[in-house]
Structure 1
Amino acid sequence: MNVMSVLNQIMNQAQGGQSRQGSQGGMDVNQMMGNLGSQLSGGKGGSGIDVKSLLGGGALGLMLGSKRGRKMGGKALKYGALAGVGVLAWKAYQNYQSTNQGQAQPAPVQQGQPLEQLQGADQERRGLEILQAMIMAARADGHIDANERQLLTQEIERLGPDDELQAWIQQQFDAPLDASALAHNADSPQAAREIYVVSAVMIDEQNPMERAWLEQLAGALKIEPNLARELEQQVLAAS
């Protein structure tokens, strides 16, 4: 399945069309790091988030609920955290280790690599986990109706997924919202943190149903409250 092609385009929408793919089809890690650094430092350069483009629609806009009349406002800015999600999750973990445990950083192989550093089948598998988390979080308030689902399906088709991925995406709209099943698919602690980060990006923290989903997911992923707070702070810092 060409999941990373679709995920890259969705992340590209989050940055208003500024992201680029690497020469071998993976994510351009240098670009991601540059964009993330600009965001974390409050930069306003070309790697910033084009909010107008973000709110204009596309798969991301539909998934985030811009067609459902949500109050986007400044909250829209945090969607830029979708680009560089692995780096954000890893940085949050490092901060958590330093602040709460005071222990030496474990070797990366013990925790799993960030999404942006994976290659080939490993990146595709992680990308599938990330996309599944995004869809479940978007469904957490129960407001995707038949018309919106059709629009989103058409938009995703435009992004060019293969038949297998298209069928998988349709299954995600019909599958029960199951935090345990989503957590079971996480192939490493780093994957669990990335699933939490993208879910935190997608939800409206003012919506009780969506907030409850995020808390349920944290429990299923075995993410401690202090780490969950650090992950959410990284999302806000990337705004």
Structure 2
Amino acid sequence: MNASKILQQLMQQAGGSQKGGSSSGVDVKGMLSGLSKQLGGGSSGQGSGSSSGFDVKSLLGGGAMGMLVGSKRGRSMGGKALKYGAIAGVGMLAWKAWQSSQAAKNDSGQQNTAQNASEGERVEVLSGEIQERRSLELLQAMILAARADGHIDEQEQALITEQIDALGADQEMHNWVEQQLKAPLDAQALAREADSPQAAREMYLISVAVTDDQNPMERAWLDQLASALNLPTEMTAELERQAKQAG
């Protein structure tokens, strides 16, 4: 599988979208804004559109990031719900959240380096098999979070898989994505995949990035995931703060 390649490209898409464009020249944010109008206004798609009323061709130009969130009906696309910066910098932001929590516990703000090492490394600095495993964990967290409101139908699942393939997914990765799009929403099973405390924080933060905490079903998923990951309330609050600040 080439999960690390796929995750890196999604992070790059998110980073480009945060700036209003993308490294590949695709304006994902603009596409999402237009998609929001199509879905919210109920206008029908053109050409090879779907029964849910959006233009498939515009989605294929917008990338997998747009597709994952574009399938969320009734959402504020490209606005408050999708946090591009949190996806682009998931590892660093999760680490900052941990540092902030440690500083709050320690008036001097000093941290124990041995404790730092036991927390695990950020996804951005991993390599080899460890990087591949962490990438799978984060991709799984992202897909399940995107499904939390129950609004991704079979046709949209096929489009998401097509977008992942467009990023260069190999056959094993393709099959894995299809499986995740249909697997039960099981927070406990997802949490068992976390290979370190840092991984747990990243999994929660990337879930926050693709959910709307004002949606009761999505808020419930975040709460279930936080509990399964054994993240204290103060840590989840700090991770959510970091995600919102990143924009």
The TM-score normalised by the length of structure 2 is 0.79
Cα distance per residue 1:3-23 (max 9 Å; x no partner): 111111111211227xxxxxx
Inter-CA distance 76–58: structure 2 relative to 1 (3 Å threshold): farther
Task: Tell me the C-alpha RMSD between the 2 structures.
Answer: 2.0
Corresponding residue for residue 172 of structure 1: 180
> Aligned-pair distance for 1:49?
4.7
Whole-angstrom distance in 1 between the partners of 2:172 and 2:82: 32
Cα distance per residue 1:33-83 (max 9 Å; x no partner): xxxxxxxxxxxxxx8353952352321111113563422253266222111
The TM-score normalised by the length of structure 1 is 0.82
Q: How does 1:46-65 map to 2 (within 5 A)?
A: 48-50=19-21, 52-56=27-31, 57-65=62-70
The alignment-based identity, stated in percent, is 55
Q: Does 1:197 align with 2:172?
A: no
Q: How does 1:154-173 map to 2 (within 5 A)?
A: 154-173=162-181
Q: Which has the larger radius of gyration?
A: 2
Whole-angstrom distance in 1 between the partners of 2:144 and 2:78: 22
> Aligned-pair distance for 1:174?
1.5
Residue correspondences, number: 210
Cα distance per residue 1:130-172 (max 9 Å; x no partner): 0000000000000001111111111111111111111111110
Q: Does 1:79 align with 2:54?
A: no
Whole-angstrom distance in 1 between the partners of 2:81 and 2:192: 30
Q: How does 1:88-103 map to 2 (within 5 A)?
A: 88-100=93-105
- Residues 71, 156 of structure 2: 8 Å contact kept: no
Whole-angstrom distance in 2 between the partners of 1:234 and 1:225: 14
- Local SS of the residue matching 1:161: coil
Which residue identity is paired with 2:96? K
Q: Does 1:236 align with 2:236?
A: no
Whole-angstrom distance in 2 between the partners of 1:150 and 1:92: 35
The more displaced of 101-110 and 78-87 is 101-110
Whole-angstrom distance in 2 between the partners of 1:131 and 1:187: 14
- Local SS of the residue matching 1:68: coil
Corresponding residue for residue 3 of structure 1: 3
The more displaced of 223-232 and 100-109 is 100-109
Q: Does 1:140 align with 2:115?
A: no
Q: Which ranges in structure 1 are unaligned for 5 or more consecutive residues?
A: 18-46
Whole-angstrom distance in 2 between the partners of 1:175 and 1:87: 29
> Aligned-pair distance for 1:173?
1.2
Q: Which ranges in structure 2 are unaligned for 5 or more consecutive residues?
A: 32-61
Corresponding residue for residue 127 of structure 2: 119
